[in-house]
Structure 1
Amino acid sequence: MAMRNFAIQSWIIKYLSTNIHMYTVKQMPILKSLKKLRKIFQTDDSKSESGIGVLIVFIAMILVAAVAASVLIHTAGILQQKASSTGTTTIQQVASGVVITQILGYDYANPPEAGGISYLAIFVTINSGGSSVDLSNTTITLSVGGTTAVLVYNTSIFYDIAGTGSANIFSAPVWSELSASHKNPTNFGILVEADPSHSMTNLYPVLETGDVAALIVNVTNTFGTNITQGSAVSGQITPEVGSPALIDFNAPTAFSTKSIEIT
């Protein structure tokens, strides 16, 4: 019996000593500190995954914005170049071209009242501030007596009086080359009146600043008739680049001389 009581007492003492030890250890400051640190550095897997997803979306948005900005900058550059080119072309179209300074006609009849205008000399120069005009690429549209003709330049019908002068431009030999015998009713020729830069030749009749040239037309050769008194004539001179020069006049109601100033 005594041995049994001793065993029970020993177990009670061991139990109390063990629990007191654990209680004491749990209350130690270092363990409390470790628990706090563990809570601070404890990670949450779901929060980490959400953060990575947001970061990926943010990076994707930056890349898309960068690509869009690059495309916009490139497009803006192309538009700027096209706008500049269009502006230059528009300015050239408006500023360039030819201007009609005078139109003269010639009537072979004797007396002049009995006939009509057979030859036309349309004097042109370039627009003020305009660029050079190649008359070989110029066309003349002319309407006489209800018939409209389109005339182009013939390189063999060229005459330069800029250096020698002429007592009568309608007596120049170039007119004989513009006739029915040469079968060129859809052609016009060039008579050079002023060429200080010597830029006009039969193959390259380039009209520059200070140059004056007459575009010559044989009306009878083209239309089979002449321009009678009071007749209406219309048309235009169209250069390759620049604004066209309009032709619009009524022939005088009475011809008193062979050479007739129309405009």
Structure 2
Amino acid sequence: MFEFITDEEERGQVGIGTLIVFIAMVLVAAIAAGVLINTAGFLQSQAEQTGQQASSQVSDRVQEVVTTGNVTDSEIEWVNVTVTKAPGAGDIDLENSTVTWIGPSGTYSLVHQNQSESGNEFFTVNDVSDSDDSSPVLNDVGDRLQLSFNVTETDGFTGPLQEGDKVTLEVNTVSGATTTIQFAVPESLSGKNAVKL
């Protein structure tokens, strides 16, 4: 009539229930740990990539060595800017760089001659010092490459530079780093073939 449950049976049922709850908690914890580990790995990878890009934007830039102008009839028709890698910079591909020319006749966005489409203004790159023939890539601290700009009307500019003209160049590398180079034409060009700007 009455059924008695012994202490041993009660303990067995409680033990099985506890075991099931414990296994469920372990499974949930394992899944959560897996998600956290994957998320942490993704965030670390993204942070490293962002850090490298930010570093490149600061360090992967060119450094001006010297700027000269070729004089014809007391006007400058060619501007030559010799550049090298800035300290700490990686390889810099000048073919994929852009130059913003801000001068007395206006502002121009210039691309490398190989990237130029018909009618666009452009610049050329010449070797000054390049031991491994990597031009137009600056990949060594000893590399010196020359950015050359024909500022006559035939290449899209409004005319040669005159005495006293001031120009600002912004060289933007493919990583987003920008170098600003400013120069002024001397007040007298008469009798000169070339001048330092």
- TM-score by shorter chain over 0.5: yes
Structure 1 residue 48, shift from structure 2 partner: 6.2
Larger helix percent: 1
Q: Which of 70, 75, 78 is residue 34 of structure 2 equivalent to? A: 70
SS of match in other structure, 2:113: strand
**1:215 counterpart residue number:** 147
**Greater mean alpha carbon deviation, residues 53-62 or residues 133-142:** 53-62
> Which ranges of structure 2 fall in alignment gaps of 5 or more residues?
none
- Aligned partners of 1:206 and 1:235: how far apart in 2? 19
- 2:91 aligns with one of 119, 132, 141: 132
Letter in 1 for 2:124: G
Identity of aligned residues (%): 34
CA RMSD of aligned residues (A): 2.7
Residue identity matched to 2:110: L
Residue aligning to 2:122: 187
**Shift in Å at residue 71 of structure 1?**
0.8
SS for the counterpart of 1:223 is: coil
Match of 2:179 in 1: 245
Find the structure with the greater CA-based Rg: 1
Secondary structure of residue in 2 paired with 1:233:
strand
Write the mapping of 1:110-259 to structure 2, written as runs, cut at 5 A.
112=74, 116-145=75-104, 147-155=106-114, 186-200=121-135, 205-209=136-140, 210-221=142-153, 222-241=156-175, 243-256=177-190, 257-259=192-194
TM-score w.r.t. structure 2 length? 0.79
Q: Is the 8 A contact 2:105 2:157 kept in 1?
A: no
Code of the residue aligned with 1:126 in structure 2: it is K
> Which SS does the other structure have where 2:187 is aligned?
coil
Per-residue deviation at 1:232?
Answer: 2.6
Render the CA deviation track for 1:47-70: whole Å, top value 9, x for unaligned: 765655444333322221121111
Q: Shift in Å at residue 45 of structure 1?
A: 7.2
User: Shift in Å at residue 217 of structure 1?
Assistant: 0.7
Determine which structure has the larger strand proportion and give its number. Answer: 2
Alpha carbons of structure 1 residues 42 and 184: separation in structure 2 relative to 1, 3 Å: closer
1:185 and 1:220, CA in 2 relative to 1: closer, same or farther beyond 3 A? farther
1:105–1:120: 8 Å Cα contact kept in structure 2?
yes
Q: Identify unmatched segments of 5+ residues in structure 1.
A: 1-38, 156-182
Paired with 2:51 and 2:78, the residues of 1 have a C-alpha distance of 40
- Residues 59 and 107 of structure 1: is their aligned pair in 2 closer, same or farther, counting only changes over 3 Å? same
SS in 2 for 1:62: helix
CA distance in 2, matches of 1:245, 1:235: 8
Q: Distance in 1 between matches of 2:10 and 2:109?
A: 85
Q: What whole-Å deviation, never above 9, does each CA across 1:213-234 have from its counterpart, x for those lacking one?
A: 1111111233222222332312
- Whether contact under 8 Å (1:99, 1:126) holds in the other structure is yes
Q: 1:246 to 1:211 in 2, by over 3 A?
A: same
